[in-house]
A = this chain, B = another copy of it.
C-alpha cells in the first residue's frame, strides 16, 4: 500500500492506494467522527462491494443509501434522497458518510456531507479510475443543474481517501479509458516526465497491470494534491486542473449528461486546448499529434461529436465557471508539462480550433 498526504493544514488527509483495502477496518475506523456510518453508493456498485464494507465496519451503527447509477442523476432531487435517508434513520452531527462509487457518488456524497446539519465528516472510497485520480482529491463536491455542470456545490474535504485498485478489475472498458484521460492530463499540465512515462507505459496500463496502475494513480494524486495544497479554493493555480474541461463541459452539456463520459469529453477538450495552444505557437503540431495518438491508444475519442455549431460551443462555454465578468478564460499549454490560464487568444483562432475538432 502507498500513502500520500494532501497538505491542507488542519484539513489535511491521507490517500491510501493499494489492493484489498476495503477489508481493512484500520483504514476506516480512525477517521470516523462517531459511531454512526452511512455508506452512499449506487445500484451498480453496491452489489459488488457493500457487503464487504458492512463486514469491515461491523462494529459501527451502519446504514446505506443507494442511488441510481449515472451522471444524469447528479441532481438536487437525488441529493435529497441522501438527506431523507439520514434524517429517517436519525443520523446526527457526528455521523460519517462514506462515498462508495465513482465521481458522481463521490461528488454527491461529499456535498451531502457538506450540507447535512451544516457539515458532517465523510470518507471517499472511489471505485473508478477517474474518481481515484481526480474527484476524490481536492474537496470539490456538488451536483449539476440543467443549465450547467457542477454549478451547485461546496468545498468539503474528506477525512481520508481509500483507493482500492481491486475495484478497477470490474470497471467497464469505457470508464477505464475515461480515467486514463485524467491521468494524461496531470502529465500535460505539470509533469512532463510523467507524460513521457505514460507514453511509454500505455499498453501496460491498458492491460491493467497492477504495479503500473498503482504508480499512475499515485503520481496523479500527488500532482493533484500539490496543486490543491497551493490553492485550495481555486483562486489561481488550481484552475490548470481544468485543462480540457471548458471544451469538455460544452460537449457534455450539448449531448446531455451521461451520454458522453466526463473523461471522454475531457480527452477531446485536451486535444482542442492543445490544438489552440499550437495555433498560438506555444507547442508544436507534432506535440498535438503525439497527444492524439496517446489518447487513441487509450481508446479515447479525439474529435468532438458532429452537429455542434461553433456558436453552440461558444455559448455553452460561456456558462462555464471559468468565465469572469464575461471574459472567457481557458487553460492552454505553454509547453508539454506546463499549463497556463489565459484569456489572451484571438476569437478567430478559437473558432478555427472548434471547427477543426469536428
Are B34 and A145 in touch, CB under 8 angstroms?
no
Given the complex of chains A and B, what is the CA–CA distance between A127 and B87 in angstroms? 32
User: For chain A residues 279-326, which have a beta carbon within 8 Å of chain B?
Assistant: 318-319, 321, 323-326
Nearest-neighbour CB distance to chain B for A218, whole angstroms, equals 27
A151/B90 in contact, CB under 8 A = no
Interface string of A205-220 (1 = CB under 8 A from B): 0000000000000000
B92–A147 CB distance below 8 A: no
Residue from B83, B324, B326 within 8 A of A152 (CB atoms): B83
Number of copies: 2
Q: Which residues of B contact A90 (CB under 8 A)?
A: 318-319, 323
B87–A319 touching, CB < 8 Å: yes
Complex interface: chain B residues within 8 A of A117 (CB) = 151, 153, 321
Which label, helix, strand, loop or mixed, suits the secondary structure of the A interface? mixed
Say yes or no: is A115 at the interface (Cβ < 8 Å to chain B): yes
| A90→B155 CA distance, assembly (Å) | 22
Query: In this assembly, does A93 line the interface, its C-beta being within 8 Å of a C-beta of chain B?
Result: yes
Please state if B155 and A92 are interface contacts (CB–CB under 8 Å): no
Measured CB to CB, the nearest residue on chain B to A155 is: B118
Assess whether A350 is interfacial by the CB under 8 Å rule: no
Interface-central residue, A87, A118, A145, A147, by most chain B CB under 10 Å = A118
Known: A35-B325, A147-B88. A154 touches B94 (CB 8 A): no
Bound CA–CA A325/B148 (angstroms)? 39
A70 within 8 A of B: no
- Residue A170 CB within 8 A of the other chain: no
A116, B152: Cβ atoms closer than 8 Å:
yes
Chain B residues, CB < 8 A from A153: 115, 117-118
User: Which B residues touch A114, using CB under 8 A?
Assistant: 154
Q: Taking the nearest CB of chain B, how far is it from the CB of A61, in angstroms?
A: 9
- Bound Cα distance A319, B151 (Å): 31
Q: Most chain-B CB neighbours within 10 Å: which of A35, A36, A87?
A: A87
Q: B140 contacts A87, CB within 8 Å?
A: no
Closest B-chain residue to A148, C-beta based? B87
**Interface residue A80 (Cβ < 8 Å from any Cβ of B):** yes
Residues of A within 8 A of B (CB): 34-36, 76, 79-80, 83-84, 87-88, 90, 92-94, 114-119, 140, 142, 145, 147-148, 151-155, 233, 318-319, 321, 323-326
Extra inter-chain contacts (12) besides given A34-B324, A34-B325, A115-B154, CB under 8 Å: A35-B325, A83-B145, A87-B147, A92-B325, A93-B321, A93-B324, A94-B325, A114-B154, A115-B142, A116-B151, A119-B154, A119-B233
User: What are 29 A-B contacts with C-beta separation under 8 Å?
Assistant: A34-B325, A35-B325, A36-B325, A76-B76, A76-B80, A83-B145, A83-B151, A84-B145, A87-B145, A87-B147, A87-B151, A87-B319, A90-B318, A90-B323, A92-B321, A92-B323, A92-B326, A94-B324, A115-B153, A115-B154, A116-B151, A116-B152, A118-B140, A118-B142, A118-B153, A118-B154, A118-B155, A119-B154, A119-B155
Q: Which 8 A-B pairs have the closest CB atoms?
A: A87-B147, A118-B153, A115-B152, A117-B321, A92-B323, A83-B145, A87-B148, A76-B80
